[in-house]
Amino acid sequence: MTLALVEYRDKEGRLWRRGLPEGTPASQAASGVPLGPPSLSSLGLPLEIEVALHNQLYSREIFNERDAQQNVDQIRSALKAALATDVVRIIGIYQGSGAVNAEDQ
CA dist 28 and 86 (Å) reads: 34
Count of structural domains, the chain: 2
DSSP structural state of residue 40:
-
**29-68 tens-digit pLDDT:** 888 888 889 999 999 999 999 999 999 999 999 999 999 9
DSSP code at position 13: -
17 with 66, same domain: the answer is: no
Q: Check whether residue 95 and residue 54 sit in a common domain.
A: yes
What is the model's pLDDT at position 35?
87
Which residue range is the domain that position 66 belongs to? 38-105
Contact call for residues 25 and 18 (beta carbons, < 8 A): no
**E strand spans, 1-105:** 3-9, 15-21, 33-35
**Within this chain, do residues 72 and 25 fall inside the same structural domain, yes or no?**
no
